[in-house]
A and B are shown apart, each in its own frame.
Chain A
Amino acid sequence: MSSAGGVFIVTLVTLTLIKSTPIIYAALGGVISERAGIVNIGLEGMMAGGAFTAVVFAGMTGSPIVGLLAGIGAGALLGFVLGFAATVFKVDQIVAGTGINLVAVGGAAFALMLLYNQPGASPQVNALGSSYWILVAVAFVCALLLHAVLYYTPWGLRVRACGENPRAVHDAGLHPLRLRLYAVIISGALAGLGGAFLSIGEVNIYSDGMTAGRGFIALAAVIFGRWTPWGATGAAIFFGFFEALQYVLQGRIAWLPSDAMQAIPYVAALFAIAGLVGKVRAPAADGIPY
C-alpha cells in the first residue's frame, strides 16, 4: 500500500512538473508583456503557433532542436504582430489578441490540411524524446533570468516604468513603444516555446485544440502570481498540479467521471482569481495604448 502511495506521489509530482512547464513559459511571457503595459490575450494563439511550427520544422528537418527554435520563432513573430498592432497602430490590445488567436489557431488547422492533407492532427515527427526534461529545467532558468532582467537591469527598469507610465519613459528620452514591442516579442517567443514543449516535448504530433486554453490559464497565472516571474511560475505549477491530478485520478474515483474532471484546472483557475486577486494592482498602464 505504501509503495503504491509512493508511486502515486512520484507520478503526481512528475506529471505536475510536465504539465506546469508549458504554462510556466506562457505565463512568463504574460508577465513580461504585461509589465511593459500590453495585455497579451494572444498567448493562446502564440502557443498554438509555436506548437504547430515546431512540429512542421521538426518533421521537415528531422531535428527536434530546429523544431524547437522554429516554434520559438513563430511565437516571436506572432508577438511582433500583436506588438506592432498594439504600439504602432494602437489597436485595442484585447481585440488584437483575439485576432491573433483566430489567425494562429485557424492558420494551424488550415496549414495542417495544406501540408499533410489530413484534418485534426499532424503525422508523428522526430520529437525531443526524453531530453524534454531539459526544457522543464529551462523553464525555471527562464523564471530566474526574467526576474534578474526585470529587477536588476536598466532595460528591466525601463520596461517596468513603461507598464506604469509610458509618458515618463518618453520624457526620459526613451522609446516606450519600442520597449513594449520588444517585450511582446519576447513574450511571444516564450509562449511559442511553451507551445513547442506541448507538441514536440510531451508528445510528437500537433493536434487541433492541443493548447486547450493553456494560454488563458497562463494569463490567470500572471494575475494570480501578481505580475512577478516567480509568482507566475508558482501559479503555473498550481494549475499544472490540478491538470496532473485530473490524469492521476482518472479511473481511481468511480463517482467522478473523467469528463467532469477535465474541468478541474479551469475551476481551480476560477477560484484562484476570485479568491486571491482582489488586493493586488495590475501595472498602472497595463492595456492602455500609448
Chain B
Amino acid sequence: MSMLRRVLGGPVGAILFAFFLAACAMLVAGVSPADGFQALFIGSLGGKQQIAETLVQTTALLFPALGISLAFRAGLFNIGAEGQLVVGGLAAGAIGAHFVAATPLAIFVLLACGFIGGGVWGAIAGWLRAQFNANEIISTLMLNFIALAVANYLVSGPLKSSAAAGAETAPLPTSSWLPLLIPDTRLSIGLIIAIIAAFVLRWVFTRTVFGYELRAAGEAPEAARRNGVNMPRMTFLALTLSGAIAGLGGATLVTGVLHRFNTQLSPGYGYTAIAVALVGDLNPLWVCVAAFGFGILEAGGLAMQALADVPKDAIHVIEGLIILVLAARRYIATRAEGAPI
C-alpha cells in the first residue's frame, strides 16, 4: 500500500493524473480515450519512423530545456528560450545558406553560430538585468516577440530564398547537414549532442567552481554576493549561456531537420521546454527523461489528431496540467516529510 502510494505520489502519479484529466477531456470531445491514447502511443512509439520522430521532438525540446534549467538554477527565470532558439536557428540558417564553404568543418561553424546567436539573445536580457536590474521574465518574453518579428522580416525580405515559395532562407548545402542517426528518418546526431550537453551541464553543476557559484547565486543570492560571487557577472553569464544552449538547439534543428531556416522552426518548443525543465526538476539527466516524455506527447499529438480526431492542442493542455500537478505534488511530498513550510 505504501509502495503504491509512493509511486502514485511521484512524477508517475502526476503524469497518470494528467492523463486521467486528458481522458476526461477526450470523453467530453466525444472520443474514446482508448482510441485517443492508442493513437498517441502508436503515433509516437509504434515503429521506427514514429520512434525517430519522437526522438526528433525530444532533441528539439532538450536543448532549450537544458538552457532553461541552467538559468532557473541560477535563480533567473529565462522564459525566452523560444526567442533564443529562433535566433540561434536564424544565425545558423543565414550563415549556412550564404557564407559557409562546403567543408566538413562547416557543420561546426554553423553549430557555433547557433550557440553564439542564442547566446547574444540571452546576453541582452543578462545585460539588462545585470546593468539596470530589469526583470528578466519580462525582458526575455519581449525578446521572444522581437526575435520572431526580426526573423519574419529577414526571411520574407533580405534573406528570402528566390527559389522558395514561402518565407524561408535558401537551403543549406548537404555538406553542412548534420549526419543522420537512424537512416531514412529525420533523426540526426543532434540527439547525441543534446545528451552530451546534458552530461556536461550536470558536471558543471555538481563539480565545477562555476556551477557551485551559479547554484549559490540561485539558492541564496545574498549569501553568494557576500561570499565572493560576482552577482552581475553571474547573472550575465547564466542568461548568456542559457540562451546559447537554446540557440544551439535552434542550430541543430536547422542543420539536422529543416536544412534551412524559416519561422515555423519552432511550434513553441521554447515554451514547452519550460515544462520539460520543471518536470525534470532542473536536473540535467532527469530533464533528458522528461524531454523524452514530452517528445512522445509532441510526436503522438499529431497522430492523435490524424487518427483519433483529437485536436493536437490537447497536448498543450496535458503539458500544462502536468506542470500544475507536479508542482503541487512537490508540496505534498514535502508536507508528507513534515517539513515546516
Q: Do chains A and B touch in the complex (CB under 8 A)?
A: yes
Q: Determine whether A219 belongs to the interface, using a CB cutoff of 8 Å to chain B.
A: yes
Residues of A within 8 A of B313 (CB): 106-107, 109-110, 112-113
In the bound complex, do residue A106 and residue B141 qualify as a contact, i.e. CB atoms below 8 Å apart?
no
Q: Which of A98, A262, A270 makes the CB contact (< 8 A) with B139?
A: A270
Within 8 A of A (CB), among B298-327: 311, 313-317, 319-321, 323-324, 327
- Render B85-123 as a binary contact track against A, CB cut-off 8 A, 1 for contact: 000000000000000000000000000000000000000
In the bound complex, do residue B152 and residue A259 qualify as a contact, i.e. CB atoms below 8 Å apart?
yes
In the bound complex, do residue A262 and residue B149 qualify as a contact, i.e. CB atoms below 8 Å apart?
yes
Interface majority SS (helix, strand, loop, mixed), chain A = helix
Residues of A within 8 A of B314 (CB): 106, 110
Q: Determine whether B145 belongs to the interface, using a CB cutoff of 8 Å to chain A.
A: yes
Contacts A98-B274, A270-B146, A277-B134; A105 near B316 (Cβ below 8 A): yes
Residues of B within 8 A of A270 (CB): 128, 134, 139, 142-143, 146
Q: Closest approach, in angstroms, between the C-beta of B77 and any C-beta of chain A?
A: 5
In the bound complex, do residue B138 and residue A216 qualify as a contact, i.e. CB atoms below 8 Å apart?
yes
**What residue in chain A is nearest B319 (Cβ atoms)?**
A102
- Render B23-57 as a binary contact track against A, CB cut-off 8 A, 1 for contact: 00100110000000000000000000000000000
In the bound complex, do residue A89 and residue B128 qualify as a contact, i.e. CB atoms below 8 Å apart?
no
Q: Determine whether B157 belongs to the interface, using a CB cutoff of 8 Å to chain A.
A: yes
In the bound complex, do residue A273 and residue B135 qualify as a contact, i.e. CB atoms below 8 Å apart?
yes
Cα-based distance from A98 to B143 in the complex (angstroms): 17
Within 8 A of A (CB), among B120-158: 128, 131-135, 137-139, 141-146, 149-150, 152-153, 156-157
Q: Closest approach, in angstroms, between the C-beta of A178 and any C-beta of chain B?
A: 17
In the bound complex, do residue B328 and residue A91 qualify as a contact, i.e. CB atoms below 8 Å apart?
yes
Q: Considering only CB atoms and an 8 Å cut-off, how many residues of chain B contact the other chain?
A: 48
**What residue in chain B is nearest A41 (Cβ atoms)?**
B137
Q: Closest approach, in angstroms, between the C-beta of B67 and any C-beta of chain A?
A: 15
Interface majority SS (helix, strand, loop, mixed), chain B = helix
In the bound complex, do residue A273 and residue B134 qualify as a contact, i.e. CB atoms below 8 Å apart?
yes
In the bound complex, do residue B137 and residue A106 qualify as a contact, i.e. CB atoms below 8 Å apart?
no
Cα-based distance from A250 to B72 in the complex (angstroms): 39
Q: Which of A106, A216, A277 makes the CB contact (< 8 A) with B316?
A: A106
Residues of B within 8 A of A217 (CB): 142
Residues of B within 8 A of A114 (CB): 28-29, 311
**What residue in chain A is nearest B157 (Cβ atoms)?**
A257
In the bound complex, do residue A98 and residue B137 qualify as a contact, i.e. CB atoms below 8 Å apart?
no
Q: Considering only CB atoms and an 8 Å cut-off, how many residues of chain A contact the other chain?
A: 48
In order of increasing CB-CB distance, the 3 nearest A-B pairs are A106-B316, A102-B320, A103-B320
Q: Which residues of B contact A (CB under 8 A)?
A: 25, 28-29, 77, 79, 128, 131-135, 137-139, 141-146, 149-150, 152-153, 156-157, 271-272, 274-275, 278, 311, 313-317, 319-321, 323-324, 327-328, 330-332, 341
Q: Which residues of A contact B (CB under 8 A)?
A: 41, 81, 85, 89-92, 94-96, 98-107, 109-110, 112-114, 119, 212-213, 216-217, 219-220, 223, 257, 259-260, 262-263, 266-267, 269-270, 273-275, 277-278, 289
Give 26 pairs: A residue, B residue, CB < 8 Å, sorted on A: A85-B328, A89-B332, A90-B341, A91-B328, A91-B331, A95-B327, A96-B327, A98-B79, A98-B320, A99-B327, A102-B271, A109-B313, A109-B316, A110-B25, A112-B313, A114-B28, A213-B141, A260-B153, A267-B146, A270-B139, A270-B142, A270-B146, A274-B132, A277-B133, A277-B134, A278-B132
